[in-house]
C-alpha cells in the first residue's frame, strides 16, 4: 500500500470507530453523517483487505489487524495535530486566509462596508468572497468548506451545523420625500391604494409582506418586482411606488419612512457554521465581527 494513494481522513474515522465502538457516535464526534462513516469504513476495509471491525451486541469489535495498527495510527494523528498547533493562534493582521461567506444582497449592503473598514485596519491581508448559496445547499457547502459562514434566516436545520442569532429588524414603508401621500400615519386603505415594489430573487411567489396581507384578506398592487434590495430604494426615490423593506435598509435613504398599518414578523439573521469549524480561531474571529457589526447596524 502506498500512502499517496490513501485518503488520510480515513484514519481519523478509523480512530473514532476504534475509540467509540459505534458508527453513529463516531459520526457525531466527527461532525459527519453516519453514512459517511460507513463509507469511510468500507474504503478502509478494501484498502487493508480486512473487515477491521466486526459488529456484535457489544458494538464494533476491532479485528487483530485493527489492534495491530491502532497504536501507530494514533501516533501519526498526534504528530499531525501537533504540526498544526500554530493554527490555533490566529493573528488577523498577518492572516492571508480567504473566507467565503454566503449572504444576501441585503446583508452585504448592511455589513460589508463596515467589515471592509475593519479588515483594512485589522486584517489587511485577509480576503472575503461573498455570494448567495441556496438555503437548501448551505449545509453541504459548509460541510465541504465551499463556504466558511452563512448569514440567513433561522430556517436552516442540520445536525452538523452550529448557529447564533446575530440580528433582528422590523419592516416599514418608504416613499419619496415629495410623494403624493402627505400624511404621517399610513392606514390600510392608504397602503393598498399605492403601487408597490416587491423584492424577491425568485421569478414568482410572495414574501413576508404579501403572506401577512393574504392572512388579513388583503392584496397590494405590485407594479415592479426586482431581484435585489439595492435596486428597490432607487426606484422608490424616483417614482410614486412604495417600498416595504427592513428598517435598517430604509434608513440609509432620504425617503419618508412610515409605520406599516399591519404587523409583520420581524426579520431575523442567524450566522451558521459547520461544527468542524467551531474551534477554528479564524472562523471564530470572523463570526465575532459579524455579530458585533449587526449589533452596530441596529444602534
Q: Averaged over 270-279, what is the pLDDT?
A: 90
Please report the pLDDT score of residue 31 as a whole number. Answer: 86
pLDDT at 162 over 70: yes
Average pLDDT estimate for 137-161: 90
Provide φ and ψ at 175, rounded to 5°.
Answer: -130, 165
Owner of C-alpha cell 409583520: 264
Give 254's pLDDT tier (boundaries 50, 70, 90).
Answer: very high
pLDDT score of 203: 75
* Residue among 241, 265, 233, 228 nearest 191 (CA): 241
Arithmetic mean of pLDDT over the chain: 89
pLDDT value of position 124: 94
What is residue 149's predicted lDDT score, i.e. its pLDDT?
Answer: 96
pLDDT at 206: 74
pLDDT at position 2 over 60: no
What is the spatial distance between Cα 126 and Cα 113, in angstroms, rounded to a whole number? 15
User: What local confidence, expressed as pLDDT, does residue 263 receive?
Assistant: 92
Residue 160 pLDDT > 70:
yes
Render pLDDT for 204-242 as a digit per residue (tens, 0 to 9): 767 889 999 999 999 999 999 999 998 999 999 999 999
Residue pair 115/289 in contact (Cβ under 8 Å)? The answer is yes
Query: Cell for 200?
Result: 424577491
Q: Alpha carbon of 273 to those of 7, 64, 146, 280, 289: distances in Å? A: 24, 39, 11, 11, 14
- β-bridge pairing 256-258 and 195-199: unpaired
Full set of structural domains in the chain with CATH? 3-83 (1.10.10.10), 98-167+268-298 (3.40.190.10), 171-265 (3.40.190.10)
Between 87 and 176, residue with greater pLDDT: 176
pLDDT given for residue 284 in this prediction: 93
pLDDT > 80? residue 86: no
The confidence score (pLDDT) of residue 57 equals 86
| CA distances from residue 172 to 19, 52, 169, 235 in whole angstroms, order as listed | 55, 62, 10, 16
Residue 297's pLDDT is 63
Question: pTM higher than 0.85, yes or no?
Answer: no
Using the predicted structure, report yes or no on whether residue 117 has a pLDDT greater than 80: yes
Question: Which three-class secondary structure state does DSSP give residue 219?
Answer: coil
Predicted confidence (pLDDT) at residue 63 exceeds the cutoff of 90: yes
What share of the chain in percent tops pLDDT 90? 63
Confidence at 259, pLDDT banded by 50, 70, 90: very high
Q: In the beta sheet, which residues pair with residue 253? A: none
Q: Which three cell numbers stand for residue 232?
A: 428597490
Q: Which helix (H) or strand (E) holds 102?
A: strand 98-102
Give strand pairing partners of 151: 271
Q: Model confidence at 30, in pLDDT bands (50, 70, 90)?
A: confident
Average pLDDT (112-119) is 94
Amino acid at each position: 500500500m502506498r500512502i499517496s494513494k490513501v485518503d488520510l481522513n480515513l484514519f481519523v474515522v478509523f480512530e473514532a470507530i476504534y475509540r467509540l465502538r459505534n458508527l453513529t457516535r463516531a459520526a457525531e464526534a466527527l461532525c459527519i453523517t453516519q453514512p459517511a462513516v460507513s463509507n469511510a469504513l468500507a474504503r478502509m476495509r478494501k484498502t487493508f483487505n480486512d473487515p477491521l471491525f466486526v459488529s456484535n451486541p457489544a458494538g464494533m469489535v476491532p479485528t487483530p489487524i485493527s489492534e495491530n495498527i491502532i497504536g501507530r495510527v494514533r501516533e501519526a494523528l498526534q504528530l499531525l495535530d501537533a504540526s498544526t498547533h500554530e493554527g490555533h493562534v490566529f493573528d488577523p493582521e498577518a492572516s492571508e486566509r480567504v473566507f467565503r461567506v454566503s449572504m444576501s444582497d441585503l446583508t452585504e449592503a448592511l455589513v460589508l462596508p463596515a467589515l471592509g473598514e475593519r479588515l483594512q485596519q485589522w486584517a489587511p491581508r485577509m480576503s472575503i468572497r461573498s455570494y448567495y448559496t441556496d438555503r437548501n445547499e448551505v449545509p453541504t457547502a459548509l460541510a465541504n468548506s465551499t463556504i466558511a459562514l452563512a448569514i440567513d434566516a433561522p430556517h436552516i436545520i442540520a445536525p452538523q451545523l452550529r448557529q447564533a442569532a446575530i440580528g433582528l429588524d422590523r419592516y416599514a414603508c418608504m416613499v419619496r420625500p415629495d410623494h403624493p401621500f402627505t400624511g404621517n400615519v399610513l392606514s390600510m386603505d392608504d397602503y393598498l391604494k399605492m403601487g408597490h415594489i416587491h423584492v424577491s430573487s425568485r421569478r414568482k411567489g410572495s414574501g413576508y409582506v404579501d403572506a401577512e396581507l393574504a392572512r388579513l384578506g388583503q392584496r397590494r398592487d405590485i407594479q415592479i418586482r426586482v431581484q435585489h434590495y439595492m435596486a428597490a430604494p432607487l426606484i422608490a426615490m424616483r417614482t410614486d411606488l412604495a417600498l416595504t423593506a427592513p428598517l435598517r435598509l430604509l434608513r440609509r435613504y432620504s425617503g419618508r419612512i412610515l409605520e406599516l398599518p399591519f404587523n409583520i414578523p420581524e426579520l431575523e439573521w442567524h450566522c451558521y457554521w459547520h461544527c468542524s469549524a467551531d474551534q477554528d480561531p479564524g472562523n471564530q474571529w470572523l463570526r465575532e465581527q459579524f455579530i458585533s457589526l449587526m449589533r452596530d447596524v441596529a444602534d
